Chains A and B, each alone.
Chain A
Amino acid sequence: MAELSVKHLLGIKYLNEKDIHLIFETADHFKEVINRSIKKVPSLRDITIANIFFENSTRTKLSFELAEKRLSADVINFSAGQSSVKKGETLIDTVNNILSMKVDMVVMRHPNPGAGIFLSKHVNASIVNAGDGAHEHPTQALLDSYSIREKLGDVAGKKVVIVGDILHSRVALSNIFALKLQGAEVKVCGPKTLLPKHIESLGVSVETDLRKALEWCDVANMLRIQNERLDISYFPTTREYTQQFGVNKKMLDSLDKEIVIMHPGPINRGVEITSDVADSKQSIILNQVENGVAVRMAVIYLLASKIK
């Protein structure tokens, strides 16, 4: 029987194609479960999971917590803002203190790239990376691919453009790894200042003209400008960014095919995407959120079954 090749989910980089398919097949079953009148299964009733968030999050945190609860795991939540981290405690100390309360799995978001990897080497628990700085956000990429698969039948052979702040985006990096692994073609599009140098070495193509990128693609994944990570000015004004890289309904309607619009949230309406596009029938933004719970249930279930 199939099982994941990894003990932790630190990034898509460490997964293989079989892992992704196993996660998706398991997520299919969980999607059926969460659409029942009783949306809960007892699988993880003897597993305790700590959600440790050193950075703000709405969707991801709620989605993980719901996924854990639907699997009947015990859940504890921890946010850095209200904790002893402010008193000078180190990451390993914080986590080891939590683990000594008999916790089996840690879901962590942290502002520093590699925080999850570091933790997995020093503590005895299964680690799920819920976003580490500008590095990876693996469950987001998995739910994005899962949503493409649901909408278009398959990911292989599809053309996906990721638009926006590629430089600071963990969603972009994880998506590139995940999409390439499944045989999709990937293009990135944005102002040159927000495209990392040598991004082509990951096997993606680069386009700075949004219209050309949209004409090429089957799916456009629109990213937010990560204002909190912009240390210097990367483009003149938000208005100018919107004029060049914002998607509006008029532009979508002028394309000769109907492309799928995705967004990992939070949306800055009127900046990277207009309201009428976000709420249009081409947008699968809310499907992404629903699928997020099923995909995270699958990831947690498969990792938990490896805890001995």
Chain B
Amino acid sequence: MGQKVLLSEKEINIILHRLACQLLENHLDFKDTVLIGIQPRGTFVAERLTKILKEEYGVKEIKSGFLDITFYRDDFRRGDKTLEATKTKIDFLVEDKKVVLIDDVLYTGRSIRSALTAIQSFGRPSEIELLTLIDRRFSRHLPIQPNYRGRQVDAINDEKVKVLWKENDGEDVIYLINK
């Protein structure tokens, strides 16, 4: 099993700032926009972006939450393991809001399909966008593409993209791992 660094801490930081600027360009004051991190790993990206937007670009208030998609997945009973849920925290309605779904890696697109269904439990958004830090090209099972992408990667199916965060894993780094 080998692994190589796909993005270093510095590169991640530059990309997060670019993504924050792109969000700002489209949403300006974030009055009608909500950021939703997809559990379990999209929440870190969402939290970082919220922090950058608030501290460095002076956005006063951003509504954000995190969404667990376990109960909406399409592979229930199809694997060997029980799908274990994590916490959902969305203490507002998304009715008529612009929702930005945020995840770390876009691969088959099935998680995003589940998230699109799950978010409807919190109202009818006026529009939904997708932001992903890593977009694995040529691996989609569904017609889903991001509106904002950090870095596009050509990874073959045996490879895994692993995103680590300081607050959870001790360092900011993205690896490409050969199984």
Q: What is the CB-to-nearest-CB distance from A26 to chain B, in angstroms, rounded to a whole number?
A: 6
Contact B84 A304 (CB under 8 A): no
Say what secondary structure dominates the interface of chain A: loop
Size category of the binding interface on chain B: 20 to 34
Do residues B68 and A38 form an inter-chain contact, with CB atoms below 8 A?
no
Binary interface encoding of chain A residues 20-45 relative to chain B, with 1 for a CB under 8 A from any of its CBs, else 0? 00000010110011001110111110
Q: How large is the interface on A (under 10, 10 to 19, 20 to 34, 35 or more residues)?
A: 20 to 34
* A47 nearest CB neighbor, chain B only: B77
Complex alpha-carbon distance, A79 and B122, angstroms:
36
In the complex, which of the residues B73, B82, B88, B117 contacts A29, with contact meaning CB atoms closer than 8 Å?
A: B88
Q: A304-B77, A308-B77 are in contact. Are A2 and B72 (CB under 8 A)?
A: no
A305 and B93 in contact, given A33-B71, A37-B123, A38-B120 (Cβ under 8 angstroms)? no
Tell me the bound Cα distance from A302 to B73 in angstroms. 15
Q: Which chain A residue has the least Cβ–Cβ distance from B87?
A: A29
**In the complex, B26 has a CB within 8 A of chain A:** no
Query: Within the complex, which residue of A36, A37, A305 is in contact with B77, where a contact is CB–CB below 8 Å?
Result: A305
The answer to whether B120 touches A42, judged by C-beta atoms less than 8 angstroms apart, is: no
**In the complex, chain A residues whose CB is within 8 Å of the CB of B70:** 29
Out of B73, B82, B120, B123, name the residue touching A2 (CB < 8 Å): B82
Q: Chain B 104-138, CB within 8 Å of chain A: the 1/0 string?
A: 00000000000001001111000000000000000
If over half of B's interface residues share one DSSP class (helix, strand or loop), that class is named, otherwise mixed; here it is loop
Pairwise interchain contact B72-A41, C-beta atoms closer than 8 A: yes
Q: Which residue from chain A places its CB closest to the CB of B121 in the assembled complex?
A: A38
Complex CA–CA separation, A46 to B75 (angstroms): 11
Taking the complex as formed, is A80 at the interface, i.e. its CB lies under 8 A from any CB of chain B? no
Report the nearest B residue to A306, measured CB to CB. Answer: B82
Residue A4 at the chain B interface, CB threshold 8 Å: yes
Q: Residues 67-96 of chain B: 1 if any A CB is under 8 Å from the residue's CB, otherwise 0?
A: 010111100110001111111100001000
Bound together, the chains give a CA A46 to CA B120 distance in angstroms of 21
List of A residues within 8 angstroms of B122 by Cβ: 36-38
| Set of chain B residues within 8 Å of A302, measured between Cβ atoms | 82
Task: Decide: B76 and A1 in contact? CB cutoff 8 A.
Answer: no
**Min CB distance, A276 to chain B, in Å?**
35
**Contact B71–A1 (Cβ < 8 Å):** no
Q: CB < 8 Å: which of A1, A32, A44 contacts B82? A: A1
The residue on A at minimum CB distance from B68 is A29
Does residue A3 face the partner (Cβ distance < 8 Å to B)? yes
By a CB distance below 8 angstroms, the chain B residues around A306 are 82
Q: Are A3 and B88 in contact (CB under 8 A)?
A: no
Given known contacts A4-B82, A305-B82, A308-B77, A36 and B71 CB-to-CB distance under 8 angstroms? no
Q: Which of B77, B87, B88, B123 contacts A307, CB < 8 Å?
A: B77
Contacts of A32 in B (CB 8 A): 87-88
Distance in angstroms from B75 CB to nearest chain A CB is 11
Contact yes or no, B82 A37, CB < 8 A: no
| Complex contacts, B84 vs chain A, CB 8 Å | 1-2, 26
Indicate if the CB atoms of B76 and A26 lie closer than 8 Å.
no
Bound CA–CA A307/B81 (angstroms): 11
Distance of A37 Cα from B84 Cα, bound (Å): 23
Chain A contacts with B in 250-304, Cβ cutoff 8 A: 301-302, 304
Task: Mark B residues whose CB is within 8 Å of A.
Answer: 68, 70-73, 76-77, 81-88, 93, 117, 120-123
Give the 4 A-B CB pairs with smallest separation, nearest first: A41-B71, A3-B82, A38-B121, A29-B85
